[in-house]
Structure 1
Amino acid sequence: MTAPGAWATEHRLTLLKQIEGRPGAADSEGQRWMEHRHTGLALVACNCGYTTGWIPTEELPDQAWLLGRHGVPTA
């Protein structure tokens, strides 16, 4: 058990989807807007130090597994 007032690393999940971007074609006024797309890779990291690294989205650990070991994701 943790002593009162002791600091402890909390579980806080973060999910990132990797994106890539490029300048789009110039519009009628010469403005260029960035185009973005998902690369198909994602990363899950927890404040405790756990990370998947960039892996294909379909290989991400199951949500129940993640929540069982690393708690509820934060916004």
Structure 2
Amino acid sequence: MAQHTFRLARAAHGTAESHARVAGRIRVVIARSADRFLGALPTLIEDARLPDPVRAMLLEVREQLSAVNLRLASCD
């Protein structure tokens, strides 16, 4: 019985470590994608070819993504 319990505990620990690694990778991918998009936003926001409502929406998106990036950074 003790051997079985030990194996279950070891498997659960391995699963938790795997989950943490995957979650870490997801955070990195999201942050990188958001960083690229945030980098392009100033150009998009200044693009006079875009309608004013679209540029206003992009301003809101920039603020929201910045807030998400701060929350992600606090998780590390």
Q: Does TM, normalized by the shorter one, top 0.5?
A: no
TM-score, normalization by structure 2: 0.29
Rg larger in structure: 2
**Structure of higher RCO (CA pairs closer than 8 Å, 6+ residues apart):** 1
